[in-house]
Chains A and B, each alone.
Chain A
Amino acid sequence: MARNPQEAALALHRFGFGPRAGSIEEIAADPRGAVIAELDRPGAGQITNPDLPSSGAANRAVFEYNAERNANQKRTRRDAAQATMEAAPAKPEAVPLPRQLFRNEARARIDAALNAEIGLVERLVWFWSNHFCVNQEKTVMAGAYEREAIRPHVLGRFVDMLLAAEGHPAMLLYLDNAQSIGPNSIAGINRDKGLNENLAREILELHTLGVRTTYTQDDVTNFAKVLTGWTIRQTVSDPDHGGEFVYIKRAHEPGPQTVIGKDYDDTGTGQGRAVLADLARHPATAKHIATKLARHFVADDPPPPLVHRLTQCFLDTDGDLKEVTKVLVAAPEAWAPEQAKIKRPGEWIVTALRATGETGEIGRIIQAGNLLGEPLWRPPAPKGFSDENAAWLDGLAQRLDIANTFAHREGLAVEPAAVMDAALGPLASAETRRAVVGAESRPQAMTVLLMASEFQRR
């Protein structure tokens, strides 16, 4: 087979996280085959790091940490009030545990993207994590959530990811279902509490059917009733299992419910699982997911025939996400030479690190994401970060500043022309080549390269 370095470079940028040194050559014999092969690699998408705690363990550790810190502060105040002893010198505060957990999770995520051969599976993890987003500000479990609810299913069935995500403590906290109580349940009557319909609405609107499809306000309310009782164990009363999922029948709205024209008997969690299973298989869900996938990888306004084929595959395979991904990679529309999409900030940062062979300091990587408007696991709303070019274009000035800083820090040790060959290969236009080679300093050459249109787009 003829070698095709042009298509290889395109594949790495469009479906992965950009080339590392030698990547273009490695897959030039069969770029499309190499992309597909990543999907069949055993353990693809999994992070096996024994140092990262489960979501429940993270939750309990932070609970204990906060309790201890509060006690220490109170003791210090009490001792100071007695004022009989000389004050002990204040110990310099170590990195607070919640931030340390966050940084460890972020590091593991970035490493997985840096170490991938092409990076399609990691791109899928980022895509699905954004589709089913939670917010770090509302739970310390955002990183563990991604490992537990998203990663195991990015090449599995949509229904399994849906069930894992909606039943995960991080999601139940983020969208308030942990506090939602059936108004006619025992707990609802005794405590005079009731529904919170936030999770039910966003599942229908954002996670499955899509907005303006087939559901009504009654469907939202009834579905919220179905999901009552799905909550979280409290660490204060359950030190061994706090922060884990629990179904509390006492808080579950009793009786059958009708959601989108279908009656669901009250079978406890089974009632919610049955609704979710039907939502996962709904044609509107298939179309919604197909559109979002095509928009992410191909174009803001994806070609309708491609969306149609992805939808059909989703329906034919009962939401087999590996098969859907294969249809996407096989699609001629996905290989158009024009780089129609602007890289999202995180994608651009990882591409730059891979191109230079740097691993980056995690604090700086997190900070760069913040400055570029894509703070890790802190989306502005349950809809997640936008996948349209317009949302990211305005941050170009911030990209300039970050490219400039990066180039001055890392750009002295590398040979810009070599980085350009490795990272863009045949994608580099003659003008970009001239600008990089003709730059008056290495940092300047690196800044020009990182900001080049071919490097900003995919």
Chain B
Amino acid sequence: MSGDFHAPTRRELLVGSGVLFAWAAVPRLARAEGRDPRLLTIVLRGGLDGLAVVAPVGDPDWTTLRSEKSLTADGQTPALPLNGFFALNPAMPNLHRLYQAGQATIVHAVATPYRERSHFDGQDVLESGLTQPHASATGWLNRALSGLPAGRRGGESGVALAQNVPLVLRGPAAVASWSPSVLPDLDADTLQRIADRYASDPVLSHRLADAMVTDKLATEAQSKPMAASDGSMDGSDATTAAVRSTAARYTEQVKTAAGFLCREDGPSVAVFDTTGWDTHFNEGGGQGQLRGRLAVLDETLRTLKQNMGEAWPRTAVLLATEFGRTAAANGTRGTDHGTGTAAFLLGGAVAGGRVIADWPGLSGSALYQQRDLKPTLDIRSVLKSVLHDHLQVAKATLDAEVFPDSRNAQYLPNLLRA
């Protein structure tokens, strides 16, 4: 039906349409100061077991908690050494290389202020930046963007690589979402007629305009030649078909994210989600279901670095989860919902190569409620410091608007390169 004649695609339409606005009309964040930073936030949904990713191999109580499944420096699949006390899961060689190159920092025994164990409430607190669940319909990243002085941010300075914008990026600042579509383009005239019809429905109208702009940029991002990637995955048995299809999706998302972030006039921040960290059953350590998922995440990070290219030195990537898991294994070779966990900060802009942890220990009495890794650091300390040092959000804004009630979460010095 379509295709006999050249009708402008919905992407081409945008350029000339009066209904839709261009992304890049306004100068970018902090460009005036020559920094032009980029921040990618990856939300790890499901409760990542920080202990199984960054294992405290120097803690005498560690191996008794996880018995034969615990990662050790000299086991059958030895963990990758970090600093003598901590070691990284062997499924993450790329993260390890970044760490060794001084481009990755691990923060351990960290948690949000949330102390219950519901995924959804936990994610709500992680993303809203507040102390209680469901206390805000906006997320900390969006409030940080809207807290920047006018002229330092554009029409849309954030993008979510998702069908739906996650809470962390929801709020007053205009943001976009993008997810792949495999269907043919709509002709311009039909689109215009639908846009006209939404004149009386501002909610749908606004969303349509956003979607079109984002789609155009994504198309451009994808058509740009990318750095070579052999796309090879760790060929272990754990790499099932499901894992491979997840890997393909993450790869597409991260390439698109890099495409957005690399643009001179592109958004400063991007967000994407990963799932599958809720390892109640057969979690494993150096082997098992967690290993397969970590391998995919690790490969995603490698693809990201490759595709960020010249923008990598001004890039920071933050990985955070809603809570950790029980310190001991549960009855089904997995772990149940817990509290303290690990978070990750990496990228060319990061002053890395260290593990930041005020280690609480793993003896029965040292555990939170005699069950979970006790948090000794508020994750908002990390978030505030990154937003201040990297995106240059004012401390007054961070303390009042972005993370209210976070006085006790101190700024961490020197997370980023000067």
Contact = CB atoms under 8 A, between A and B. Distances in A.
B332 A395 contact: no
Contacts of A198: 278, 280, 336
B331 A196 contact: yes
Contact of B164 (A183, A394, A404, A439): A394
Interface string A407-449: 0100000000000000000000101100100011001100110
B85 interface: no
Contacts of A435: 193, 196-197
Interface in B1-26: 1-2, 10
B120 A383 contact: yes
Given A197-B336, A405-B183, A429-B200, A397 B211 contact: yes
A217 interface: yes
B165 A453 contact: no
Contact of A404 (B120, B162, B183, B212): B183
B183 A402 contact: yes
A395 B204 CA distance: 11
Interface string A376-397: 0000110100000111111111
Contacts of B133: 211-212
B240 to A, nearest CB: 11
Tell which of A217, A391, A408 has the most Cβ of chain B within 10 Å: A217
Given A195-B331, A371-B182, A440 B163 contact: no
Contact of A395 (B163, B182, B200): B163
A181 B331 CA distance: 7
A291 interface: no
Residue from the set B116, B177, B204 with the largest chain A CB neighbour count within 10 Å: B204
A429 B10 CA distance: 26
Interface string A208-242: 00011000010010000000000000000000000
A390 B164 contact: yes
Interface of A: 137, 176, 179-181, 183, 188, 193-198, 201, 205, 211-212, 217, 220, 371-373, 380-381, 383, 389-398, 400-402, 404-405, 408, 429, 431-432, 435, 439-440, 443-444, 447-448, 451-453, 456
B417 interface: no
Given A398-B181, A404-B186, A373 B331 contact: no
Given A373-B163, A404-B190, A211 B121 contact: yes
29 contacts: A181-B331, A181-B332, A188-B331, A195-B330, A195-B332, A196-B281, A197-B336, A205-B118, A211-B120, A211-B121, A212-B116, A217-B117, A371-B183, A373-B163, A381-B119, A394-B160, A394-B163, A394-B177, A396-B204, A398-B163, A401-B181, A401-B184, A402-B183, A404-B190, A435-B193, A444-B189, A447-B190, A447-B194, A453-B200
Contacts of B182: 371
Contacts of A444: 187, 189-190, 193
Contact of A448 (B45, B116, B179, B197): B197
A196 B197 contact: no
Contact of B207 (A201, A380, A393): A393
A431 B200 contact: yes
Contacts of B207: 393-394, 396
A358 B215 CA distance: 30
B75 to A, nearest CB: 20
Given A197-B336, A408-B1, A400 B186 contact: yes
Contacts of B331: 179-181, 183, 188, 193-196
A181 B333 CA distance: 11
B150 interface: no
A387 to B, nearest CB: 13
A292 to B, nearest CB: 13
Contacts of A212: 116, 118, 121, 133
Q: Which 10 A-B pairs have the closest CB atoms?
A: A194-B331, A397-B211, A401-B183, A373-B163, A453-B201, A179-B332, A394-B164, A196-B332, A394-B177, A195-B331
Given A193-B332, A212-B121, A439-B193, A397 B215 contact: yes
A380 B43 CA distance: 14
Contacts of A193: 331-332
B197 A451 contact: yes
Contact of A196 (B164, B190, B196, B330): B330
A173 B189 CA distance: 50
B32 interface: no
A394 B182 CA distance: 16
Interface string B168-205: 00100000010101111011011101101111110110
A396 B118 CA distance: 30
Contacts of B120: 211, 381, 383
Given A398-B163, A444-B189, A447-B186, 13 more contacts: A137-B242, A179-B332, A194-B331, A196-B334, A212-B118, A212-B121, A381-B46, A393-B203, A393-B207, A396-B211, A404-B186, A429-B200, A447-B190
A169 B379 CA distance: 39
B197 A396 contact: no
Contact of A176 (B179, B201, B275, B281): B281
Contacts of A396: 204, 207-208, 211
Contacts of B302: none
Given A396-B211, A400-B191, A432 B197 contact: yes
B194 A448 contact: yes
Given A398-B163, A435-B193, A451-B197, A443 B1 contact: yes
B275 to A, nearest CB: 6
A447 B186 CA distance: 9
Nearest to B242: A137
B2 A408 contact: yes
A253 to B, nearest CB: 10
B2 A176 contact: no
Contacts of B380: none
Q: Of residues B177, B196, B331, B334, which shows the largest number of chain A Cβ atoms within 10 Å of its Cβ?
A: B331
A397 to B, nearest CB: 4
Most buried by B among A179, A373, A429, A456: A179
Contacts of A383: 119-120
B414 interface: no
B337 interface: yes
A432 B199 CA distance: 11
Contacts of B281: 176, 179, 196
B219 interface: no
B37 to A, nearest CB: 26
B369 interface: yes
Given A394-B207, A443-B1, A373 B164 contact: yes
B181 A397 contact: yes
Interface in B356-370: 369
A392 B133 CA distance: 21
A391 B164 contact: yes
Contact of B184 (A380, A395, A405, A448): A405
A373 B1 CA distance: 27
A431 to B, nearest CB: 6
A60 B331 CA distance: 27
Contacts of B371: 217
Given A211-B120, A390-B164, A401-B183, A440 B280 contact: no
